[in-house]
Amino acid sequence: MQKIIVCLKRVVDYNVRIRVKADGSGVVTDGLKMSINPFDEIALEEALRIREKGQAQEVLVVSIGPEDAQQQLRTGLAMGADRAILVQTSAELEPLAAARILQQIVNREQPDLVLLGKQAIDDDCNQTGQMLAAMWNRPQATFASKLDLNGTVATVTREVDAGLEVIEVDLPAVVTTDLRLNEPRYVKLPDIMKAKKKTIEIVPIESLGVDITPVLRVTQYDTPPPRSKGGMVKSVDELVSALRDRGLLA
Amino acid sequence: MSRTLIIGEHDGQHLNQSTARCVACAIAIDSSGVDVVILGSDPSAVAGEAATLNGVAGVLTVMNPANGPVLAAILAPQIAVLASAYDYVLAPSTTFGKDLLPRVAALLGVPQLSDVMSVLGPRTFRRPIYAGNALVTIEVPAGIKVVATVRGASFKPVGGGNAAPVRPVEVSATLPTHTRFVELRSGKTDRPDLQTARLVVSGGRGVGSAENFALLYQFAGRIGAAVGASRAAVDAGFVPNDMQVGQTGKIIAPELYMAFGISGAIQHLTGIKDAGTIVAVNKDGEAPIFEIADFGLVGDLFQIIPEIEKRLR
C-alpha cells in the first residue's frame, strides 16, 4: 500500500471542562488547552504502525481548521507522520462540509486508506468518516478495534452494541477508530525538534471549490441542568436501604 | 402532514427496542404518517413486531439476501431511495444507526443531526455536545430533509397493541460488493453489556490491581450488573480498554451506577452524568466524585463491598 491519510481535528483537550457562554451564543474555547481529538490520535498511531510494519509507504496527516491547527499537525509530524496538509478556515464546518473537503484531498492524493476517529469529542457527531465513504463511493469500517491488512483487502473488527463484528473491505476504504484499537505513543523531544523542520502545506479552503455554508441553524447553547445535589450516607445499612427504596437493589 | 421513515434495527430475529424509542421521537415531531422500514433477508417476523408498535402507520419490508448482514454500505443506497417520499428519516443512535445514517445523509446531500434528545418543534431539536456538557438547539431550515439519529435514553419506548399494515416494497439500487460480513462475536461474558445495562459497578485506581477487580466482578454477578472502570484503572492495566467509562470511553446512562475507588476526573464524570442514581465509595472524602453522587460513602471499598453483599437478599 502506498499512502494512508489520517484526519486530525483540533479540539479542546479531553481533560478540560468547557463552559457555555453566558449569552448562550456558544462554548468558551478561548485560552483552553487544545489537542488532537483522541480518536484521531489513535487513527494516526494505527497508520504509523502499518507503515512501520512495511505495509505502507507514506502517512499524510490532514486537518481542517484555523491557522493554530498547525500545532496539532506538528504533533502529528512529531509522532511520525511524513507530511501534513492544513485546509485553512476559520469557519465552523458541519461534518457534511468536512467530508466534502476531505473528498477533494482524497481525489488529489489518491490514498489507499483513510483513517480517522469515530467521532470528535467536541461536537460528538460521529459522521465525517461515513459521509466521506459515501461520497467517495468506497467501503466504511466504523468503530474499528482491530485492523488487519492483506493486499487489497482490510479485515476490520468493529465494536458494535451486539459484540465484535468482523467485516472485510476492499481498499481503498475509510476506517474510523474506536478506543481499543491501540494506545498512541508518547512524542519524544528529539522528534518534536525534527518535526519543526518538516513543512506543513497550507491549502486555502476557497481553492477547493467546496460549498461549506452551514445548512443547520444552531440557535442556542445551554448548560445542561445540574444533577440534583445528592448527599452522603454514613453507613452501609443506610446505603443499602436507600437503594432498596429506589428499587435498585433486592 | 409530514411523513417520517424510521429505520428499524433488528438482528434478523427480533426488533431492537431502540426502534420503539425512535417511534416515540417521531410521534413527538408529528404523530401522523410514521412508517418503519425493515430491511432483511427475511424481514417478515421482525416487521410483524414493528407493526404492533403504537403510533406506527405502516411497516415497509425490503427483502433481499444482501440485507441479511447489517452493512451500512449495502443498506444506505436502498434507504436513500426510499427516503425520497419522506420528510424525516430517523434511526436509533446505536452503533447500527450511527454507522448507517451519515452514509444515507451524504447520499441525500443533506446534513445529519446526531443524538437528538428532545423535540422542541417540528424542525427544532436539542442534542448534546462535549459529551453532554453543553446542549445545542438546532433548527433544520424548511425544505431540507431532516435526517437524525435518536438518543435512546431520552425517549421511552412506545407500547404495543397496534396492528399496522405491512407492505413489501421493491427498491432498485445498485448494491456494492466491496464490503463483506465475516462474523459477529457476541459479548464474551454472560455479564450484561456495559452500554445498555440497568446496573453498573465500576472500579478505579483505588481497586489497586487486576486481581482485586475480582471483588467487583463477584459483586456485579450477585446483583446482575455490568462492570466498568475509570481511565485510571485502564491506564494502570487493571482492566481492558473496552471497560472504560468516560468521555473517551463509553458514555452510559444506567439506572444505578456504583463507583468504587474512583476519584472522579472530569472526563469520567461526563460519561456517567445521565445515570439515574450514582453511588460513590471512596477513602478520600474530598474526592470530586462525591460532588455528583446521590449517595456517597467514605470508606474502604474492600470492607464495604462485602458488607453490601451480606445485606443482599
Cβ burial, residue B115 (10 Å; 0-12/13-18/19+): buried
Chain B partners within 8 Å of A137 (Cβ): 176
Q: Which three cell numbers stand for residue A89?
A: 478556515
pLDDT of residue B241: 80
Q: Is residue B189's pLDDT more than 70? A: no
Instruction: Provide CB contacts within 8 A for A195, sequence distance 6+.
Output: A74, A75, A77, A78
Assess contact for A112 and A145: CB atoms under 8 A: no
pLDDT of residue B270: 86
Q: Which three cell numbers stand for residue A144?
A: 474499528
Show the domains of chain B with their CATH numbers. 4-168 (3.40.50.620), 199-311 (3.40.50.1220)
Tell me the nearest-neighbour CA distance from B202 into chain A, angstroms: 16
- Where would I find the H helices in chain A? 38-52, 70-79, 95-109, 128-136, 189-197, 236-245
Q: Which three cell numbers stand for residue A235?
A: 453507613
Chain B partners within 8 Å of A231 (Cβ): 294-296
Q: B58-63 and B34-40: which strand pairing?
A: parallel
Is B274 in the A-facing interface, judged by CB distances under 8 Å? no
Assess contact for A139 and A174: CB atoms under 8 A: yes
Task: Give residue-wise pLDDT tens across range B233-267.
Answer: 999 999 988 899 988 788 888 999 999 999 999 88
Task: Give residue-wise pLDDT tens across range B18-53.
Answer: 999 999 999 999 988 999 999 999 999 999 999 999
Q: Do A124 and B128 touch (CB under 8 A)?
A: yes
Q: Do B111 and A231 touch (CB under 8 A)?
A: no
- φ/ψ of residue B288, rounded to 5: -60, -25
Q: Do B313 and A142 touch (CB under 8 A)?
A: no
Q: Is residue B152's pLDDT more than 90? A: no
Nearest to A105 by CA among A130, A127, A124, A88: A88
The CATH number of domain A3-219, selected from 1.10.357.10, 3.10.20.810, 3.40.50.620, 3.40.980.10: 3.40.50.620
Q: Do B308 and A236 touch (CB under 8 A)?
A: yes
Question: Can you give the residue ranges of every domain in chain A?
Answer: 3-219
Q: B187: pLDDT confidence band, cut at 50, 70 and 90?
A: low
Q: Packing angle between helix A236-245 and helix B301-311, nearest 10 degrees?
A: 50
Q: Do B273 and A227 touch (CB under 8 A)?
A: yes
Q: Is B295 helix (H, G, I), strand (E, B) or coil?
A: strand
Instruction: Provide CB contacts within 8 A for B222, sequence distance 6+.
Output: B309, B312
Dihedral sign from CA coordinates of A52, A56, A58, A60: negative
250 residues of chain A, pLDDT tens digit each: 899 999 999 999 988 989 999 999 999 998 999 999 999 999 999 999 999 999 999 999 999 999 999 999 999 999 999 999 999 999 999 999 999 999 999 999 999 999 999 999 999 999 999 999 999 999 999 999 999 999 999 999 999 988 899 999 999 999 999 988 999 999 988 999 999 989 999 999 999 999 999 999 999 999 988 777 778 999 999 999 999 999 998 8
Provide mean pLDDT across the span B124-128.
Answer: 97
Is B2 in the A-facing interface, judged by CB distances under 8 Å? no
Assess contact for B151 and B117: CB atoms under 8 A: yes
Q: Give the mean pLDDT of chain B.
A: 94
Nearest to B276 by CA among A20, A250, A159, A249: A249
- Please state the pTM of the whole predicted model: 0.91
pLDDT of residue B185: 86
Q: Do A219 and B176 touch (CB under 8 A)?
A: no
Residue with the three cell numbers 489518491: A110
Is A218 in the B-facing interface, judged by CB distances under 8 Å? yes
pLDDT of residue B253: 87
Q: B295-298 and B277-282: which strand pairing?
A: parallel
- Where would I find the H helices in chain B? 17-29, 44-51, 72-82, 95-108, 213-223, 231-235, 266-272, 289-292, 301-311
Q: A58-65 and A83-88: which strand pairing?
A: parallel
- Catalogue the long-range contacts made by B275-281 (C-beta closer than 8 Å, 24 or more residues apart): B275/B200, B276/A248, B277/A243, B277/A246, B277/A248, B278/A227, B278/A230, B279/A239, B279/A243, B281/B305
Task: Give residue-wise pLDDT tens across range B267-292.
Answer: 899 889 889 999 999 999 999 999 99
Chain A partners within 8 Å of B276 (Cβ): 248
pLDDT of residue B266: 86
What is the Cα–Cα distance from A109 to A13, expressed in whole angstroms? 30
pLDDT of residue B154: 87
Please give the interface size between A and B, counted as residue pairs whose CB atoms are below 8 Å apart: 249
Q: Is B251 helix (H, G, I), strand (E, B) or coil?
A: coil
List A4's β-bridge partners, or say none: A59, A113
Q: Do B185 and A166 touch (CB under 8 A)?
A: yes
What is the Cα–Cα distance from B222 to A105, expressed in whole angstroms? 54
Q: Is residue B70's pLDDT more than 80? A: yes
